[in-house]
Amino acid sequence: MNEFYLIAKILSVYGNEGFVKILSYTDFPERFFDLKEVYLDFFDDKKEFFVEKVKKKKDTFLLKFKNFNSASETEILIGKEIFVDKENLIKLPENYFFVHDLIGSKVFRNDVLLGVIKDVLKYPANDVYLIDNLGEEILIPAAFEFIQSFDPEKKILVLKPGDALYDDED
Can you give the CATH number for the domain in which 78 is found? 2.40.30.60
Q: Residue 23: inside a domain, yes or no?
A: yes
Adjacent-strand bridge partners of 148: none
Q: Residue 44: inside a domain, yes or no?
A: yes
Q: Residue 94: inside a domain, yes or no?
A: no
Provide the domain limits for residue 106: 99-166
Greatest alpha-carbon pair distance for the chain in Å reads 64
Instruction: Identify the DSSP state of 169.
Output: -
Q: Say if residue 79 is in the same domain as residue 112.
A: no
What is the count of structural domains for the chain?
2
- 39 and 83 Cβ atoms separated by less than 8 Å: yes
Q: Say if residue 14 is in the same domain as residue 83.
A: yes
Q: Say if residue 10 is in the same domain as residue 78.
A: yes
Cα separation, 145 vs 125, whole angstroms? 14
Looking at residue 163, its pLDDT comes to 58
Looking at residue 88, its pLDDT comes to 79
Q: Say if residue 122 is in the same domain as residue 148.
A: yes
Under the phi-then-psi rule, with left for phi > 0, alpha for psi from -120 to 50, and beta for the rest, what region is 107? beta
0.85 cut: is pTM over it?
Answer: no
Alpha-carbon radius of gyration of the chain: 20
Q: Say if residue 73 is in the same domain as residue 124.
A: no
- In tens digits, the chain (170 residues) has pLDDT values of 578 888 899 999 999 999 999 998 887 788 889 889 999 988 888 999 999 999 998 889 999 999 999 999 999 999 999 999 888 777 777 777 878 788 899 999 998 999 999 998 888 888 899 999 888 999 988 888 888 899 888 999 999 887 555 444 44
**105-130 CB burial, b ≥16 within 10 A, e <16:** bbbbbeeeebbbbbebeeeeeeebbb
Q: Say if residue 82 is in the same domain as residue 135.
A: no
Looking at residue 90, its pLDDT comes to 75
Q: Say if residue 35 is in the same domain as residue 82.
A: yes
Q: Say if residue 57 is in the same domain as residue 104.
A: no
